[in-house]
Structure 1
Amino acid sequence: MTKITIVSLSLALALYGCNDNQEQANQTTNAATTEVTQNQQQQGMTKEEASTALNQLFEQQFQESLALNPIQATAIGIPGYNDKLPNMLSPEFRKKSHDFTVKWLDKVKQIDRSLLSGQDRLSYDIFVYQSEHSLKGEQFPGHLIPINQSSNIANFFAQLGSGQSFQPFKTVEDYENWLKRVDGGVAIMEQAIINMDQGIEKKVVQPKALMEKVIPQLAAHVVDDPTQSIFYTPIKNMPEDISEEDKKRLEDAYRVAIVEKLVPAYKKLHDYIKDDYMQHARDSFGLSEQPNGEAWYNYQLKTYTTTDLTAEEIHQFGLDEVARIHSEMKEVMAEVGFEGTLEEWFKYVQTNPEFYYDNEEDLLQGYRDLQAKVNKLLPSMFDIAPETDYEVRAVEAFRAESAAGASYMSGSPDGSRPGIFYVNTFNLKGQPKFGMETLSIHEAAPGHHFQISLQQEIEGLPMFRRFGGLSVFSEGWALYAESIGKEMGMFTDPMQYYGRLSDEMLRAMRLVVDTGLHAKGWSRQETIDYMVANSSMAYTDVVSEVERYIAWPGQAVSYKVGQRVISNLRAEAERKLGDKFDIKAFHREVLVDGAVPMPVLETKIREWIDSQLDEA
Structure 2
Amino acid sequence: MHSSSLIVVVALLMGPLVVMASEPSEQLRRLFEEEWQANLREFPVTATYLGDGRYNDRWADVSLAAIARREAHQREVLQRLNAIRSNELTPAERLNQKLYRRELETELEEYPYQWHLVVLNHRDGIQDENSVADACRFISRKDYEDWLARLKSFPEYMDQTIELLRRGVAERMVQPQVVMQRLPAQIRRQLVDDPTTSLYYKPFKSFPAEIAEADRLQLQREAQAAIQERIVPSYRKLLEFFEREYFPACVPNVGAWQLPQGQELYAYLARKHTTTSLTPQQIHDIGVSEVARIRSEMERIKQQVGFEGTLNEFFTHLRTSPEFHYTDANDLLAAYTAFVKRVDPELPRVFKKLPRIPFSIEAIPAHMAPDTTTAYYRPPSADGSRPGTYFVNLYKPETRPKFEIAALSLHEAMPGHHLQIALATDLVDVPEFRKHAHVTAFVEGWALYSESLGEEMGLYDDPYSKFGQLTYEMWRAVRLVVDTGMHSLKWSREKAIAYFQANAPKSELDIVNEIDRYIAWPGQALAYKIGELKIKELRQRATKALGPSFDLRDFHDVVLRNGAVPLDVLEEIVDEWIQAGK
Same fold at TM > 0.5: yes
* Partner residue in 1 for 2:421: 452
- 1:386-438 per-residue CA deviation (whole Å, 9 max, x = no partner) reads 11111111111111111111100011233211111111122224421100000
Counterpart for residue 92 of structure 1:
65
Q: Is the 8 A contact 2:445 2:530 kept in 1?
A: yes
Q: Does 1:72 align with 2:37?
A: no
Match status 1:139 vs 2:112? yes
Aligned match of 2:257: 288
Report if the CA contact (8 A) 1:429-1:538 is conserved: no
Question: For residues 88-144 of structure 1, what are the alpha-carbon distances to aligned partners after superposition, in whole Å with 9 as ceiling and x for unaligned?
Answer: 2x1121023113312222222121111223211111111111101111111011232
Note the residue ranges of structure 1 that are not aligned, 5 or more in a row. 1-43
Q: Spell out, residue by residue over 1:178-225, the C-alpha distance to the aligned partner (whole angstroms, 9 max, x if none).
A: 111224443232222222222222222221111101111111111111
Q: Distance in 2 between matches of 1:68 and 1:345?
A: 52
Distance 1:560 1:315 in 2: 11
User: Per the alignment, in what secondary structure is the counterpart of residue 368 of structure 2?
Assistant: helix
Structure 1 Cα separation of the partners of residues 312 and 400 of structure 2: 19
Residue 160 in structure 1 maps to residue 129 in structure 2: no
Against the structure 1 CA distance between its residues 81 and 208, is the aligned structure 2 distance closer, same or farther, given a 3 Å change threshold? Answer: same
**Structure 2 CA distance for aligned equivalents of residues 395 and 182 of structure 1:** 23
Q: Which moved more, 1:218-227 or 1:197-206?
A: 197-206
User: What is the alpha-carbon distance in structure 1 between the residues aligned to residue 412 and residue 278 of structure 2?
Assistant: 26
Match of 1:222 in 2: 191
Partner of 1:53: 27
Deviates more, 1:276-285 or 1:460-469: 276-285
Match of 1:534 in 2: 503
- 1:85, 1:196 → 2: CA distance? 17
Distance (Å, rounded) in 2 between the aligned partners of 1:223 and 1:78: 31
1:105 aligns with 2:74: no
User: Which structure 2 residues correspond to residues 496-575 of structure 1 after superposition, within 5 A?
Assistant: 496-575=465-544
Name the CA shift for 1:148/1:217 in 2 (closer, same or farther; >3 Å). Answer: same
Render the CA deviation track for 1:560-606: whole Å, top value 9, x for unaligned.
00001100000000001011011111101100001111100001100
1:129 aligns with 2:102: yes
The answer for the alignment partner of 1:583 in structure 2 is 552
The amino acid that maps onto 2:146 is N
SS in 2 for 1:224: coil
5+ residue gaps, structure 2, are 1-15
1:540 offset after TM fit, Å?
0.9
For the pair 1:193 / 2:189, whether they are aligned, the reply is: no
What's the CA shift for 1:353?
Answer: 0.7
Q: Is 2:149 aligned against 1:172? A: no
Q: 1:74 to 1:585 in 2, by over 3 A?
A: same
Question: Is 1:420 the equivalent of 2:392?
Answer: no
CA distance in 2, matches of 1:244, 1:536: 54
Q: Would you say the 8 A contact 1:207–1:284 is kept in 2?
A: yes
CA contact (8 A) 1:413 1:453 kept: no
Q: Using the alignment, how far apart are the partners of 2:22 and 2:156 within structure 1? A: 46
Q: Which residue matches 1:36?
A: none
Judged with a 3 Å threshold, the aligned counterparts in structure 2 of structure 1 residues 234 and 448 are, in CA distance, closer, same or farther, namely same
Of 143-152 and 380-389, the range deviating more from structure 2: 143-152
Indicate the SS of the match to 1:398.
coil
Paired position in structure 2 for 1:5 = none
Q: Is the 8 A contact 1:350 1:536 kept in 2?
A: yes
CA shift at 1:46, angstroms?
9.0
- Alignment partners' CA distance in 1, 2:294 and 2:530: 16
Report 1:476-495 matches (<5 A).
476-495=445-464
Alignment CA distance shift 1:147-1:327 (3 Å): same
Separation of aligned partners in 2, 1:46 and 1:258: 54
Counterpart secondary structure, 1:206:
coil
> Does 2:569 match 1:595?
no
- Provide the rounded CA distance (Å) in 2 between the counterparts of 1:563 and 1:184: 43
State the distance in 1 between where 2:321 and 2:87 align: 63
- 1:484 deviates by 1.2
CA distance in 2, matches of 1:184, 1:553: 32
5 Å-filtered alignment, 1:390-429, equals: 390-429=359-398
Q: Secondary structure at the match of 1:397?
A: coil
2-structure distance, mates of 1:447, 1:47: 41
Q: Distance in 2 between matches of 1:364 and 1:459?
A: 35
Residue type of the alignment partner of 1:245: A
Question: Which residue is 1:40 aligned to?
Answer: none
Residue type of the alignment partner of 2:114? P
8 Å contact 2:445–2:532 — kept in the other structure? yes
Alpha-carbon distance between aligned partners in 1 of 2:300 and 2:236, rounded to the nearest angstrom: 53
Inter-partner Cα distance in structure 2 for 1:142 and 1:100: 18
Query: How far off is 1:48 after superposition?
Result: 11
Structure 1 residues 224 and 46 mapped into 2: Cα distance closer, same or farther (>3 Å)?
A: closer
Taking the TM superposition and a 5 Å limit, the aligned residue runs for 1:594-613 are: 594-613=563-582
* Cα distance between partner residues in 1 of 2:461 and 2:25: 50
Kept in 2, the 8 Å contact 1:86–1:93? The answer is no
Within-5 A mapping of 1:344-423: 344-423=313-392
Q: State TM-score, norm by structure 2.
A: 0.94
Structure 1 equivalent of residue 267 of structure 2: 298
Aligned residue in 1 for 2:309: 340
The residue type equivalent to 1:112 in the other structure is: R
2:213 to 244, 257, 265: 244
> Aligned partners of 1:321, 1:441: CA distance in 2, in Å?
21
Query: Of the candidates 406, 425, 435, which is equivalent to residue 437 of structure 1?
Result: 406
**Amino acid across the alignment from 2:396:** N
CA contact (8 A) 1:473 1:595 kept: yes
Match of 1:11 in 2: none
Residue-pair matches, total: 565
Structure 2: distance between partners of 1:556 and 1:291: 22
Could you say which residue in structure 2 is the equivalent of 1:12? none
**Stretches (4+) displaced over 6 A:** 44-48
Measured after TM superposition, the shift of residue 259 of structure 1 is 0.8
Distance 2:397 2:293 in 1: 28
Equivalent residue, structure 2, for 1:32? none
Q: Contact conserved, 2:64 with 2:164, CA < 8 A, in 1?
A: no
Alpha-carbon distance in structure 2 between the residues aligned to 1:274 and 1:126: 42
Q: Which amino acid aligns with 1:50?
A: P
Structure 2 Cα separation of the partners of residues 384 and 598 of structure 1: 22
* Greater shift in the superposed pair: 199-208 or 598-607: 199-208
Distance in 2 (alpha carbons) for counterparts of 1:516 and 1:132: 27
Q: Work out the CA distance in 2 between the residues paired with 1:431 and 1:553.
A: 26
Question: Does structure 1 conserve the Cα–Cα contact (< 8 Å) formed by 2:45 and 2:60?
Answer: no
- Percent identical among aligned pairs is 38
Q: Tell me how far apart the structure 1 counterparts of residues 21 and 555 of structure 2 sit (CA, whole Å).
A: 30
Q: Deviations over 1:214-265 (max 9, x none)?
A: 1111111111111111112111122233110110011101101111111111
Q: Distance in 1 between matches of 2:29 and 2:581?
A: 29
CA distance in 2, matches of 1:102, 1:189: 28
Shift of 1:372: 1.3
Say whether the 8 Å CA contact 1:145–1:204 is kept in structure 2. yes
Distance 2:177 2:505 in 1: 27
